[in-house]
Amino acid sequence: MAARIRRPTGFTLVVLLVVIAIIGVLVALLLPAVQAAREAARRTHCKNNFKQLALAIHNYHDTFLYLPPGYISSNPGVSTNSTWCRTGGVQGAPFTVLILPYSEQATMHSRFDFNVVFQDVSNQMAAANGAVVVPLKMYQCPSDIRFVKNKQLNSYFGVQGGGSAPDCGNSSCSPANERGMYVTGMLFGGSKLGFRNATDGSANVFLLGESRYGNAAWAASAKQDGCAYTRNLAGAQDAINLHKNQGIHDTRGFSSHHPGGAGFAMLDGSVHFVSQNIDLSMYRQLAQRDDGLPSGGFQQ
């Protein structure tokens, strides 16, 4: 009986190519789902940061019976003076530093020197305080890609107010009027407002909003001069995510690296993701504490 010829087993080139193609299709189908799941987790983390910061601000209010000022200023903002932000004064600690003891960061708070300014003419923090600024996770949105290069930044800005134009803007910067300051919200230069001042209702007023525009440390304050500039504060003038990159428009709007919008904490402590397609007028109204206009139905 003749011996049977054994043929080698294995994949042919055609079969191998088909398998690779199938694997490629499966990866293409699964990758968006994986990315969506990761972004959902990052948004949840971001929401928890908002809640932590809002709770710290509430605890500050419980202690002093007013919210922390957007930043301490010897020349606080007033609605009847459109030049207050350009007339100097001493700018001290911002709200991001003032709430540290109320967010389990009392040790960090004790490292700061509150007898010196928190900024100088070079747009950086004074050396006495700049040296103690270290990254804090509660100020870092996990979707914010800026932290790859600079971990001392801040994703969560106080809401100064809002409107079609700033309440006080720069006059000598180039281009003019790219930066602005507002006094119609809850956190602005020298503000000392309480919940009672939000006559629109605490659930209808922005307290904090996301920003991917800023390029100063989380502990930096403002400067009030001809080229007035706030750090860690912004107003609702430009639409959400209108600008793509960091720039001098960071005082005029909010933004995020989340697709489709940005997160906001309301004065009552609730957190919402607000679509970048929100009606611009409503968006500006939500940044104001007492405009008396209806603002329901914005939540996502």
Percent of the chain's residues with pLDDT above 70: 88
Whether 296 maps to a domain, the answer reads no
pLDDT at position 285 over 90: yes
The chain-wide mean pLDDT, for the chain, equals 87
The reply to whether 24 falls in a domain is yes
What confidence category does residue 248 fall into, taking pLDDT thresholds of 50, 70 and 90? Answer: low
Q: What is the residue range of 249's domain?
A: 18-287
Q: Considering the domain boundaries, does residue 12 fall inside one?
A: no
Query: Using one digit for the tens of pLDDT, what is the confidence trace for 38-72?
Result: 778 888 999 999 999 999 999 999 999 999 999 99
In a domain, 239, yes or no: yes
Q: Report residue 81: phi and psi, to 5°.
A: -130, 110
Residue 300 lies inside a defined structural domain of this protein? no
219 in a structural domain = yes
Q: Is residue 2 part of a domain?
A: no
pLDDT, tens digit (0-9, with 9 covering 90-100), for 146-186: 898 889 999 999 999 999 999 998 877 777 777 889 999 99
Residue 197 is assigned to a structural domain of this protein = yes
Indicate the number of domains in the chain.
Answer: 1
Kindly report which listed range (46-50, 85-89, 201-205) carries the lowest average pLDDT score. 85-89
